[in-house]
Chains A and B, each alone.
Chain A
Amino acid sequence: RKEVEQDPGPFNVPEGATVAFNCTYSNSASQSFFWYRQDCRKEPKLLMSVYSSGNEDGRFTAQLNRASQYISLLIRDSKLSDSATYLCVVNPEQFYFGTGTSLTVIP
């Protein structure tokens, strides 16, 4: 079983839409959770850390559900510049990345 499972998409949404990504993890001992954004042929960039209480940064909201072992990312009012691959990361003792979810925001 993979450490982290993520729907690869692609998600194609119009500008202004709300889109949500989920990611499940297998190791219940995982302590740290993150969302990274990766543009084509670039390095991953940290988008948000995910805290137990949930956290919000502008149009982005991350949630953690330990009971069901998943994390989520909600993007509101999508912009063209949000088009990228979004990677979830779970850290029981090392970083495990999901395969990434591709998002394209359409004008």
Chain B
Amino acid sequence: SQQGEEDPQALSIQEGENATMNCSYKTSINNLQWYRQNSGRGLVHLILIRSNEREKHSGRLRVTLDTSKKSSSLLITASRAADTASYFCATDATGTASKLTFGTGTRLQVTL
């Protein structure tokens, strides 16, 4: 079964607004990553957060991790039309360091 599940499945916002996506997972993890996928294209790595970290920033991206709730969130601030894409969380469960499991993704639409 899927390790990560994103919420919401789809999100539509206007340019300039913030977008928040959530990821929940089922078992203890070593690390969690977020990836972005433009329609039909390959995934691109955005940010990595380790299990002992609670928050990380990269440009307009802010990721939080709550291991007690087994959840992570990705915040994109001041969104742009170019942020339109699907966003996936990916985890490696403790004891499975060679295996990355992806969630089903959140489809973000940013309109002008």
To the question of whether A and B form a pair in one complex, the answer is no
| Interface residue ranges, A against B (CB under 8 Å) | none
| Interface residue ranges, B against A (CB under 8 Å) | none
